[in-house]
Amino acid sequence: MAIKQRLQEAASSFAFWFYIETMHGEIIKGLRNYLASIQPEDIARMVREGEFPPFEDLDFSAVGDNVEHLEKVPLFSPNDDGDPPGLVEWLAEARPDLVKAIQDMEKQGAEYLVKLRLHILGLLKHTEFKPEEDVVLASCDKCGKKWPVKKDEASSITKCPFCGNGEDEPKEPPAEEEE
């Protein structure tokens, strides 16, 4: 694999994780709201029956075309040295009571978490993403990747965060103010 391609993949991954980190609060808030109707006492039944929360109403538009990066999200973060969080850490921050109920089921709960992660990834691979009202999907002509940006910032994009396309192109001089 060429060095340039490896650098592009690293930049793509960095851009994705940077975006996830900046959206952390919104992700947790969304999970908390989404899981609000599930009670800890519901978890035992859900784990026993292999039932997952209904993800149809969960908005994954922030993920966009970056599902391959989400596949790298582990079930648990390997350590606390700044590694990206795992699925369980996100769930525990959003609803610690639900995660405790799953952990109380020991081996059956751990198996459920593994299946839940695989279920979510499967859903993401087959979901068409629609951005929010004030968000548009920017796309790169070179690599074809898409990413969400606010409408008012779309015109200022000059470089693809995934492959770097556009960084060598001359920048337009700023518009002069009219008097």
**Strand spans (E) along 12-115:** none
pLDDT computed for residue 81 by the predictor: 63
Per-residue pLDDT of the chain (179 residues; tens, 9 = 90+): 578 777 777 777 777 777 777 777 877 887 888 788 899 999 889 999 999 887 766 666 555 556 666 677 777 776 666 666 778 888 899 999 999 999 999 999 999 998 988 887 777 766 555 555 677 777 888 887 777 778 888 888 888 877 788 766 554 444 554 44
- The answer to whether residue 13 is domain-embedded is yes
* Confidence (pLDDT) at 27: 76
Instruction: Please indicate, yes or no, if residue 163 is contained in any of the structural domains.
Output: no
75 contacts 113 by C-beta, under 8 angstroms: yes
In the chain, the number of structural domains is 1
Q: Which domain holds residue 95?
A: 3-125
Burial of residue 30 (number of CB atoms within 10 Å: 0-12, 13-18, 19+):
middle
**Is residue 155 one of the residues assigned to a domain?**
no
Note whether residue 154 is domain-resident: no
Q: Say if 153 falls within a structural domain.
A: no
pLDDT digits (tens, 9 = 90+) for 79-108: 666 666 778 888 899 999 999 999 999 999
| Domain-embedded: residue 167 | no
- On whether residue 161 sits in a domain, the answer given is no
Please report whether residue 110 resides in a domain: yes
